[in-house]
Structure 1
Amino acid sequence: MKKIFWNKKYALKIAKKEKIKIKKIHWKIIFFTRNFYLKFHIIPSIRILLTAINKTYKKKLNSVDLINLFPKNPAIKISKIAGIPNPKKCI
């Protein structure tokens, strides 16, 4: 099996397949999630993700906002685009 190295080009390709047009806030969420996973070897919970994004970027995002940004199943789509494993529990 061919190993794929993650980069922004790869992320954009996956996002396009998922019919997500990546904007600045998407990148913030994707990079936070990816960096969190690479540092702690676990996927951040939605609560941790929202708390960190809201605190770091002075945003007021909630779980509905995540669903609007990453439709149907945000946790799985964020993980897929970030090039990390799918979370065990999803909203």
Structure 2
Amino acid sequence: MEIPQRDGDGYLVDRDAWTPEIGRAMADTDGVVLDDVKWTHIVKAREFYDEFGVVPPIRKFAKFIEFDQKEMFKLWMTGPMKPITKYGGLPKPTGCV
């Protein structure tokens, strides 16, 4: 699958080009394994963005999906919102990620 153009941080230049298949292909290209739990986070982040028009800070997102924030950091092995938004075709999170 051909991945649409990405910026220097790996985010899609054209967010409208995102599909679940492209999100998974981007993660594969980056060497990131998206299991069911991680994919659920991506889907929920897209729902949050669709509803509120913003990428939530991690604390608010963890509460939104009723998932322990510390566990999210362990699961993603990094600031969770960056890969969640990147592979979800969402804008880069602002603030601490």
Q: Same fold (TM over 0.5)?
A: yes
Distance 1:44 1:12 in 2: 21
Give TM-score scaled by structure 2 length. 0.72
2:90 counterpart of 1:84: yes
Moved more, 37-46 or 78-87: 37-46
**Structure 2: segments with no counterpart, 5+ residues:** 6-12
Aligned partner of residue 17 in structure 2, secondary structure:
coil
Give TM-score scaled by structure 1 length. 0.76
Say whether the 8 Å CA contact 1:67–1:74 is kept in structure 2.
yes
What percentage of aligned pairs have identical amino acids? 24
Find the partner of 2:59 among 23, 47, 67.
47
2:28 counterpart of 1:16: yes
2:42 counterpart of 1:30: yes
Q: Which amino acid aligns with 1:44?
A: P
Distance 1:25 1:52 in 2: 15
**Structure 1: segments with no counterpart, 5+ residues:** 55-60
Moved more, 22-31 or 68-77: 68-77
2:72 counterpart of 1:66: yes
Aligned partner of residue 85 in structure 1, secondary structure:
coil
Q: CA RMSD in A?
A: 2.1
